[in-house]
Amino acid sequence: MNNHELKLIAAKVRRHVLDAVHSAASGHPGGSLSISDILTLLYFEEMQNLDTQTPKNPDRDRFVLSKGHCSPALYGILAERGFFDKSLITGFRQTDCCLQGHPSLKDVAGVDMSTGSLGQGISAANGMALSAKLDGKDYRVYTILGDGECEEGQVWEAAMFAAHYKLDNLCAVLDFNGLQIDGNIADVMSPLPLDEKFKAFNWNVILVDAHDFDSLRSGFAQARVCKGKPSILIAKSVKGKGVSFMENNAGWHGNAPNDEQYAQAVSEIDAVIKELGGEI
């Protein structure tokens, strides 16, 4: 897929993120907007054997959103990819809708793992990757981690495991947006340097720009050819990317925009969609 098409899909995912959190009056826009481009490249280019008719196809590549609070972006991309109807998005977080606040495997087609408690998704991704090895299957497993999430000890237990069992069919992406709830990761509880830590844990570390499709594409390609080690793309990102007043602002971690803010945010995203020749 060309970058222009990818950009358009990513903009639509961002629109879904805004619609979801605004209609729920709750949810996590910041970290959802920072991973919208990564998810777009994964679901429209990188991941293989996805079949919306058979979402549980055993040979499919898997994806685990380890930072499960960013479900609006996952639901946005799954809807764009055709796993369920886009009209569900505005039911997000409401009692009569399957789109749970955090991804739920048993409730939503296309969701490969239930997450929400930070640090656990990467271990589950390890389990899937290990199982592929046991079965002699060649599907790949992807997971997105938050940089704040890396403060959880379990992330490092999982990092050790993936390297120990040489899970080269596992590719993690670290959403390196520099923020967590209580502020900058460097101020709250620094997990830095993250690249050197993962290197020391014997991972193949690749630095990419989370909002540049060429950079992401090349990162995933490098991960694919690396044998004998798990790979991680450390993706420098902007929390709140695409909505000017949300960018790099920890206050938008887990707050929904009010009507006025929503209108402003939508106008910015819709302008991008229009500019790319898309329909709103």
Partner 1 sequence: MADKKATREAYGEALAEFGGQYDIVVLDADLSKSTKTETFKKKYPERFINVGIAEGNMMSTAAGIATTGKVVFASSFAMFAAGRAFEQVRNSIAYPNLNVKIGATHAGVSVGEDGASHQAVEDISLMRTVPNMVVINPADAYEARGAVEAAIKHEGPVYLRFGRLAVPYVYDSGYQFELGKGVQLKDGGDVTIIATGLMVQEAVKAAQTLADEGISARVVNIHTIKPIDKDIIIKAAKETGAIVTAEEHSIIGGLGSAVAEVLSENYPAKMVRVGINDVFGKSGKPQCLLEEYGLTACNIAKQTKKLLGK
Ligand X SMILES: Cc1ncc(C[n+]2csc(CCOP(=O)(O)OP(=O)(O)O)c2C)c(N)n1
Positions touching partner 1 (CB under 8 A) are: 24, 26-27, 68, 92-95, 97, 99-102, 104, 114-119, 148-149, 151-153, 180-182, 188-189, 191
Only segment of 21-29, 91-99, 118-126, 178-186 that touches Mg ion (CB under 5 A) = 178-186
- The strand pairing partners of 205, in sequence order, are 232
Measured distance CA(266)–CA(40) in Å, rounded: 19
Only segment of 15-23, 135-143, 146-154, 213-221 that touches ligand X (CB under 6 A) = 146-154
Q: How far is the CB of 29 from ligand X (least distance, A)?
A: 9
Contacts of 131 (CB under 8 A, 6+ apart): none
Q: Which of 179, 205, 210, 269 binds ligand X (CB under 6 A)?
A: 179
Q: How far is the CB of 46 from ligand X (least distance, A)?
A: 20
By CB under 5 A, residue 119 contacts Mg ion: no
Measured distance CA(176)–CA(210) in Å, rounded: 8
Measured distance CA(75)–CA(69) in Å, rounded: 11
Structure tokens at 92: 């997000």
Nearer to partner 1, 97 or 226 (CB): 97
**DSSP H or E segment with residue 65:** strand 62-65
Q: How far is the CB of 91 from partner 1 (least distance, A)?
A: 10
By CB under 6 A, residue 67 contacts ligand X: yes
**DSSP H or E segment with residue 12:** helix 3-24
* Contact call for residues 126 and 161 (beta carbons, < 8 A): yes
Q: Which residue is nearest to ligand X (CB)?
A: 146
* Contact call for residues 153 and 201 (beta carbons, < 8 A): no
CA of residue 190 relative to chain centroid, distance: 22
Measured distance CA(154)–CA(122) in Å, rounded: 9
DSSP for residue 204? E
Q: Which of 117, 190, 244, 258 binds ligand X (CB under 6 A)?
A: 117
Site for ligand X in 250-279 (CB under 6 A): 253
Nearer to partner 1, 104 or 264 (CB): 104
Please count the residues of this chain forming the interface with Mg ion, following the rule CB under 5 A: 5
Q: Choose among partner 1, ligand X, Mg ion, none what residue 191 binds, the Cβ cut-off being 5 to 8 Å by kind.
A: partner 1
Q: Which of 81, 147, 208, 223 binds ligand X (CB under 6 A)?
A: 147
